[in-house]
Structure 1
Amino acid sequence: MPSASRTPREVWTSDEGTMARETALTRWPKIMQTMIDDVETTFSQSENAEHVEEGRRIQASLRIMKEEIMGDKPLHPLNSDGGADIEGYNAQLKGFGHITWHNCAWMFAECYLYRNVQTLFARSQFWRNYDIFARQKLSAFLASHAAVEELSERYMSLTEALTTNPDPKAAELAFAELTSIALWGNATDLSLHPDVHDQTKLQSLQNHHATPTSQSRIVSNDLPAVWAYLSRNRSQVQDRGEAQAQGQGPEQEGEQENRRIAIILDNAGFELFTDLLYTLLLLDLHLATTVTLHVKSIPWFVSDVLPHDIPVLLSALTNSTLFPTSMTTNPAVQAVAARLREGFDTGKVKVKEDGFWTTGYGFQEMEGRAPGLWGELRGSEVVVFKGDLNYRKLVGDRRSTFSVALVISFVSSVTQASGGNYTGMQET
């Protein structure tokens, strides 16, 4: 019998009956086709002949990639586009030996797919900064306007009630509610649901996961412990925030005076909106003095957040040519948009990108390969990881049995080094 202490192997796309297998056979080809169609939509609207011709070449390369996936062809070394991560990808690929799309480590191959697509744009002249998923991300967010209105009104009612009656138990309940909303916002991940395009389907996913019965699907819930940890010394955090607002902050920022929470974001659109509401509540409840939102630097897994997705979302909230006028004039939506802008303008909410998030490495490699990012997270009071890929990178995407106790090497090593605390948000 194999040793119980042996590290389980990674999930491969050749594993029958797994989501990895379904992804390789079904989801990846569909996602590739959406990219092919998107490029054509863009260059068909262009009047620049060189832009059109380059777009056609990129589209042809995307078609070849789709055919290679469907034909179970070998993965080949990435062409250099000047990115510092290409060498790492090719070294990992070499370490796997001969692998094909239907017989490869799922997590690495999926990261490789999106990085390979990016080389096509990075090596171009007219498409270098093109976000091939921007159209999908905005479309999905616009189809979520009913949920955006509802959540804006709920957030404002919660914060107004807490202002009137700052009861600790009410604050804890508000924290639990917004945490749950941020968790289930992941239900509309476009890389997991490539066929979801219309408002009815999106609302169905959002409503299905927003019910009280969804709590029964959470495998492990340590939220009370997270609240107990974060809510300690709230008065000192509040004093620090008020001093900062008056320009009277102390020279030295002690642990009880300055508290940073990091959120490793997943999807743009509706999930990003729920994450931003969550960010506001963390500040409102004086659980943090600043919140850092970590985003991707290249188009990634269809709907992951890029830096420009945040101003796009803020602009959309007040744009009556995109959303129904009833929403853009909704006082709650307007108030949320104003609070978010203030948070970014004052530096209470920050956005950071790092190339490590779009490598093929698991997070146990972070300290050696991205020491700056590692140090940033070590200095955070709590780090929140959103979504399935972050979870997979935390646990190594391995075929562990459900009876095995979960010990995450990245979390344990950082916690021992810094006293940091880490929590993951992953729907089942």
Structure 2
Amino acid sequence: MRSQAHVPPLPVPLVGRTNHDFVQKSVTSRLPSILRDLVARHESVKEAPKAKIEALALELEQQRHHIVPLDGSDGGPDWRFYMENRAGMNAMDVEWFFLENYVYRLVLSWLEFFEDEDAPDPFAAQKEDALRHALQSMVSPVDHAKDGTGFRELVLGSLWGNQVDLSFSSGKMTDADAEDREVVVDDIAACWTTIFEPLISDASVEPRIIIILDNCGAELVNDLILVDFLLCLMPGLSVTLHAKAHPVFVSDATIPDVETHIRRMAENEKLEAVGKRLQEAEAGGRVQTFAHDFYTSPLPFWQVPAGLQSMYGDAILTITKGDANYRRLIGDRFWPSSLPFTNFMQYWGPGSLLTVRTCKSPAIIGVSPERLAHGFSSSDWTCNGKNGVVSFRRGDNVLVEGTSAM
């Protein structure tokens, strides 16, 4: 990132106690439900961690949990830097984004996840349900037009796949709701004409795209179909899929989850061709997977480590998927909804950025004043999962006629 100096003065963050009913319900109802579901699904959980998880659920529900210090002594990420003055604070008074990531980090520590390299993913059963449901309900991929129309269809599939989010539904499998859906910010065409049209017209270039993944199941399957489309369209293209370093938000994808999805797609009658092409692309180095602890930290993207910053700068485009990555982009704060996305994202650096998000939390930017003036059918339009944003920011390293991609 260029520097935090490029970020506007920070407004208040979302916290549990005071500034939004949805956030308060998330802390006192949704998180406890996720924790209790985890214990109920895993009879093998030892009594000591089981008691701690059940106590944590009750404390969150009753608004009396106080933040416990976390370091790296359990083999997991060292959270001492993130704690700052938060240790000992009531969970209702810390930033919501901090709290959610903290809860998953704390529970994994109690389950001794980081101490055993063969420790099972505590959310494996939910992820399997999501993947199986996605494969069963998936129609055979159509032969999408090799142009902006096909790109749009697949980006929308990736967008609405994000509706099926197990942390949003308290760990319970639900179908995507197609009723009353709207893309309130739609920069898909701008991304296509700026990034992909020049690349298609110059077969000599070998650009790289990064996709920062979100959920397993329908979303990841649709993401991988989009990857296959782009690889077939541009023989010189390579894609790096950035996954979570450890389980978080119930259904967020880790590297093993990505491998499982590709394998299961290759074994599925409807998606066999796509899955096998992705396996070949992996073997040839055109599809790679990568994980970093930053994606399970409470930090905003303007505090990204230098190594990741360099990766984003070298990519012709970075695509961030889902609500949590969007919240990380804008620091999960109450910015004006009409704040222009391109202006705000000046901190991103030289690479272009596309964010694809189904709205499931209050914070949002980049909505035109005209669209805001028109109003929405529901007062909770930023949180009900029925509205999407696809926001694009053009970087400095886009391919133009007479130049070569990075």
The counterpart of 2:58, out of the listed 62, 67, 72, is 67
Give a deviation string over 1:291-330, Cα, whole Å, max 9, x none: 11000011111000011112222333355xxxxxxxx3x3
Separation in 2, partners of 1:36, 1:363? 32
1:280 paired to 2:225: no
Question: Relative to structure 1, is the Cα distance of residues 237 and 15 closer, same or farther in structure 2, using a 3 angstrom cutoff?
Answer: farther
Question: Relative to structure 1, is the Cα distance of residues 228 and 235 closer, same or farther in structure 2, using a 3 angstrom cutoff?
Answer: closer
The question of whether the paired residues in 1 share the 8 Å contact of 2:68 and 2:87 is answered with: no
Separation in 1, partners of 2:343, 2:39? 38
Separation in 1, partners of 2:202, 2:233? 9
- Residue 37 of structure 2 aligns with an amino acid whose one-letter code is T
Q: What residue is the counterpart of 2:363 in the other structure? A: none
The structure with more strand, counted as a fraction of residues: 2
Q: What residue is the counterpart of 1:372 in the other structure? A: 307
Q: How does 1:200-219 map to 2 (within 5 A)?
A: 201-202=174-175, 205=176, 208-209=177-178, 214=181, 217-219=182-184
1:423 paired to 2:354: yes
Over the residues paired in the alignment, what is the CA RMSD in angstroms? 2.4
Tell me, which stretches of 5 or more residues in structure 2 are unaligned? 1-7, 360-406
SS at match of 1:58: helix
Q: What residue is the counterpart of 1:362 in the other structure? A: 300
1:334 paired to 2:272: yes
The counterpart of 1:225, out of the listed 190, 194, 204, is 190
The question of whether the paired residues in 2 share the 8 Å contact of 1:231 and 1:287 is answered with: no
Separation in 2, partners of 1:388, 1:130? 26
Shift of 1:29: 0.6
Shift of 1:39: 2.6
SS at match of 1:293: strand
Tell me, which stretches of 5 or more residues in structure 1 are unaligned? 44-51, 163-169, 241-256, 320-327
Bigger Rg, structure 1 or 2: 1
Shift of 1:138: 0.6
Q: What residue is the counterpart of 1:47 in the other structure? A: none
Question: Relative to structure 1, is the Cα distance of residues 396 and 139 closer, same or farther in structure 2, using a 3 angstrom cutoff?
Answer: same
Question: Relative to structure 1, is the Cα distance of residues 60 and 262 closer, same or farther in structure 2, using a 3 angstrom cutoff?
Answer: same
Q: What residue is the counterpart of 2:165 in the other structure? A: 189
Separation in 2, partners of 1:267, 1:24? 20
Shift of 1:195: 5.6
SS at match of 1:115: helix
Separation in 2, partners of 1:7, 1:108? 16
Q: How does 1:228-377 map to 2 (within 5 A)?
A: 228-235=193-200, 237-238=202-203, 240=204, 257-286=205-234, 289-317=237-265, 328=268, 330=269, 332-366=270-304, 370-377=305-312
Question: Relative to structure 1, is the Cα distance of residues 312 and 408 closer, same or farther in structure 2, using a 3 angstrom cutoff?
Answer: farther
Separation in 2, partners of 1:124, 1:374? 26
Calculate percent identity across the aligned residue pairs. Answer: 27
Separation in 2, partners of 1:146, 1:83? 36
Question: Relative to structure 1, is the Cα distance of residues 236 and 398 closer, same or farther in structure 2, using a 3 angstrom cutoff?
Answer: same
Give a deviation string over 1:12-46, Cα, whole Å, max 9, x none: 11135432111012100100111111331xx2xxx
The question of whether the paired residues in 1 share the 8 Å contact of 2:113 and 2:119 is answered with: no
SS at match of 1:412: helix
Give a deviation string over 1:370-393, Cα, whole Å, max 9, x none: 211111111000110101111111
Question: Relative to structure 1, is the Cα distance of residues 407 and 113 closer, same or farther in structure 2, using a 3 angstrom cutoff?
Answer: farther
The question of whether the paired residues in 1 share the 8 Å contact of 2:322 and 2:357 is answered with: yes
Shift of 1:226: 0.6
1:111 paired to 2:101: yes
- Residue 155 of structure 2 aligns with an amino acid whose one-letter code is T
Which piece of structure 1 moves more, 308-317 or 272-281?
308-317
Shift of 1:132: 0.6
Separation in 2, partners of 1:284, 1:312? 22
TM-score, scaled relative to structure 1: 0.76
SS at match of 1:353: strand
Question: Relative to structure 1, is the Cα distance of residues 237 and 346 closer, same or farther in structure 2, using a 3 angstrom cutoff?
Answer: farther
1:85 paired to 2:78: yes
Q: What residue is the counterpart of 2:362 in the other structure? A: none
Shift of 1:129: 2.3
The structure with more helix, counted as a fraction of residues: 1
Shift of 1:97: 6.7
Paired residue total:
350
Give the number of the structure with larger relative contact order, counting CA–CA contacts within 8 Å between residues 6 or more apart: 2
- Residue 292 of structure 2 aligns with an amino acid whose one-letter code is D
The counterpart of 1:32, out of the listed 11, 32, 35, is 35
- Residue 413 of structure 1 aligns with an amino acid whose one-letter code is Y
Which piece of structure 1 moves more, 114-123 or 220-229?
114-123
Separation in 1, partners of 2:342, 2:198? 29
Q: What residue is the counterpart of 1:252 in the other structure? A: none
Shift of 1:82: 3.1
Shift of 1:345: 1.3
The question of whether the paired residues in 1 share the 8 Å contact of 2:200 and 2:233 is answered with: no
- Residue 194 of structure 2 aligns with an amino acid whose one-letter code is Y
